[in-house]
Amino acid sequence: MKESKKEKGFSFWKVLIIGVLLRLVLMPVTLHPDILGHSFSAYFFAYEGKINLYDTLAELPQTHPLVKNFGVSDIFIYPPLTYFTLGLFRVIVKPFSDPNFVPFLMENLSQIHYRNDLFLNLFLFKFPYLFFDVGLAFLLAGLFDDLKKKNLAFALWIFNPVTIYATFMIGQLDLLPAFFSVLGIYLFKKEKFSWAAFSVGVAASFKMYPLFLLFPLAFLSNIKFSEKIKNLVFGVAPFIFFIAPFVNSPAFRAQVFSPKSQKMLFMGWPLSGAEVIYPFILGLSILCFSAYYSKKKSDLPVYFASALLLTFSVTHFHPQWFLWVTPFLIWELVENNFKNWFLTFTIFISWLVLTLMFEPSLSYGLFNPLWPDLDKAAGLSDLLGRYTNVFQFKSLVRSLFAGASLFYVVKLLWGGLKTNADN
């Protein structure tokens, strides 16, 4: 027993320290423009005490530097809890930063690389994510009873490149809904079904995609139909709670429920001149009915992974979105002893190629704080376009991603793969 405890402490802490040091190195030297929108919202909350950021943005005069230099069409596009959290993050780090940094950016973005405190502010913007990142690693490890699997899941999360890239290089907030989604699975494992649904509802209050995950969670949780409905209500409740004060705001509705929030519905199979079948709704319905009716129940992370891979398969997704499914892919690799490693590898490589095909600001351009001329560098798509049809190439890669993802889903749910439910 003593040897086991020693192994556990060494394994976890060594991996954690190395992983955190890697993040600390990358945080101040990588910059993507998306982090500016987050910093603007945090500034209004932390320094001006603005709660309704949607109306605040809509009511800014045309002479305001934010309106004049950035516009107001798609800056604050997430549910309110996102901006409350980012604002709270900024309140916490206020003592360490110059209050004029963000106003300076609004007015003089082209001069950003001449600011001596750029590295410090990039570090401070990303620093609070460390706590959710480490917390998610422990939650993911907590889904396993076997010590070796705990250590492996923990290490895979700490060193997975998707989290490092999306959170600590780009500075995106997708880690927040991912954390509460995994917390939901952890609570589900403890048979706290209503609280599991509530946690997933909190995740949806940051980005709305976890709403799709509530149905398989509720349908798998209890035998009685009334209990399933109760869990659905518990899941929707936090989302409704956070948006309710803003639903009467036209600015809120225009920003949060814009076409960008409906990307998964862009693909439709025509039935007539006016009606279509949505592949996303079709696939999600099959998943939900499978969760409800299947006598052989798969594990909840399998359904979460399936719903998210389905989303990506029919959507022109942003690279950082892949973080949503990463913890569930790690769970599956560890749970099933890497039996599906080739499928996971194919999905990951497809994602990586597509990510490199985006503009340089999402790849090597992220290091522009160290080398400002990277902002002007040609993209990989531009270079590849000299020799081939780039859009056709990306379409082929997306098709491969979708094919591997859908086969993965079918194999996990209906292919006879052994899961915890069979033990």
For residue range 404-413, list pLDDT tens digits in order.
999 999 999 8
pLDDT for the residue 198: 97
pLDDT for the residue 21: 97
Model confidence pLDDT, tens digit, residues 340-364: 999 999 999 999 999 999 989 899 9
pLDDT for the residue 302: 94
Assigned domain for 281 exists: yes
Q: What is the C-alpha separation between 307 and 280, in angstroms, rounded?
A: 9
User: For 105-113, what is the mean pLDDT?
Assistant: 87
Q: Where is the domain boundary, 108, 126, 144? A: 126
Assigned domain for 41 exists: yes
Q: How confident is the model at residue 258 (pLDDT cuts 50, 70, 90)?
A: confident
**257 and 210 part of one domain:** yes
Assigned domain for 214 exists: yes
Model confidence pLDDT, tens digit, residues 164-205: 999 999 999 999 999 999 999 999 999 999 999 999 999 999
* 312 neighbors 405 (Cβ within 8 angstroms): yes
Q: Where is the domain boundary, 126, 143, 174? A: 126
Assigned domain for 19 exists: no
Model confidence pLDDT, tens digit, residues 79-96: 999 999 999 999 998 889
Bridge partners, residue 277, by sequence: 269
**83 and 165 part of one domain:** no
**113 and 149 part of one domain:** no
**40 and 149 part of one domain:** no
Q: What is the C-alpha separation between 290 and 293, in angstroms, rounded?
A: 5
pLDDT for the residue 128: 93
> Which of 221-225, 348-352, 387-391 bottoms out in mean pLDDT, i.e. has the lowest?
221-225
How distant is the alpha carbon of residue 150 from its chain centre?
23
* 347 neighbors 322 (Cβ within 8 angstroms): no
Res. 271: pLDDT tops 50: yes
Instruction: Report how far apart, in Å, the C-alpha atoms of 304 and of each of 86, 269, 362 are.
Output: 26, 25, 26
Q: Where is the domain boundary, 75, 106, 126? A: 126
pLDDT for the residue 421: 43
76: closest CA among 209, 251, 208? Answer: 251
Work out the mean pLDDT of the chain and round it to a whole number.
89
Model confidence pLDDT, tens digit, residues 307-348: 999 999 999 999 999 999 999 999 999 999 999 999 999 999
Give residues with Cβ within 8 angstroms of 344, minimum separation 6: 329, 332, 333, 408
Assigned domain for 11 exists: no
Q: Which domain holds residue 400?
A: 129-422
The model scores a pTM over 0.85: yes
Res. 417: pLDDT tops 60: no
**243 and 100 part of one domain:** no
pLDDT for the residue 423: 42
**133 and 122 part of one domain:** no
**98 and 149 part of one domain:** no
* 243 neighbors 234 (Cβ within 8 angstroms): no
**301 and 378 part of one domain:** yes
Assigned domain for 340 exists: yes
Q: How many CA atoms lie within 13 A of 318 on its CB side?
A: 16
**408 and 358 part of one domain:** yes
> Which of 1-10, 202-211, 379-388, 390-399 bottoms out in mean pLDDT, i.e. has the lowest?
1-10
**68 and 160 part of one domain:** no
**299 and 407 part of one domain:** yes
Number of domains in the chain: 2
Assigned domain for 208 exists: yes
Q: What is the C-alpha separation between 232 and 132, in angstroms, rounded?
A: 25
pLDDT for the residue 37: 82
163: closest CA among 327, 16, 375, 338? Answer: 327
* 246 neighbors 80 (Cβ within 8 angstroms): yes
* 375 neighbors 368 (Cβ within 8 angstroms): yes
**279 and 344 part of one domain:** yes
Res. 1: pLDDT tops 70: no
Assigned domain for 14 exists: no
Q: What is the C-alpha separation between 201 and 235, in angstroms, rounded?
A: 4
Q: What would the 3-class secondary structure string for the chain be? A: CHHHHHHHHHHHHHHHHHHHHHHHHHHHHCCCCHHHHHHHHHHHHHHHCCCCHHHHHHCCCCCCHHHHHHCCCCCCCCCHHHHHHHHHHHHHHHHHCCCCHHHHHHHCHHHHHHCCCHHHHHHHHHCCHHHHHHHHHHHHHCCCCCHHHHHHHHHHHHHCHHHHHHHHCCCCCCHHHHHHHHHHHHHHHCCCHHHHHHHHHHHHCCCCCCHHHHHHHHHHHCCCHHHHHHHHHHHHHHHHHHHHHHCCCHHHHHHHCCHHHHHHHCCCEECCCCCEECHHHHHHHHHHHHHHHCCCCCCHHHHHHHHHHHHHHCCCCCHHHHHHCHHHHHHHHHHCCCCCHHHHHHHHHHHHHHHHCCCHHHCHHHHCCCCHHHHHCCCHHHHHCCCCCHHHHHHHHHHHHHHHHHHHHHHHHHCCCCCHHHC
> For helices 129-141 and 326-335, what crossing angle results, to 10°?
30
pLDDT for the residue 200: 97
Res. 2: pLDDT tops 80: no
**Residue 148 CB coordination number (10 Å):** 11
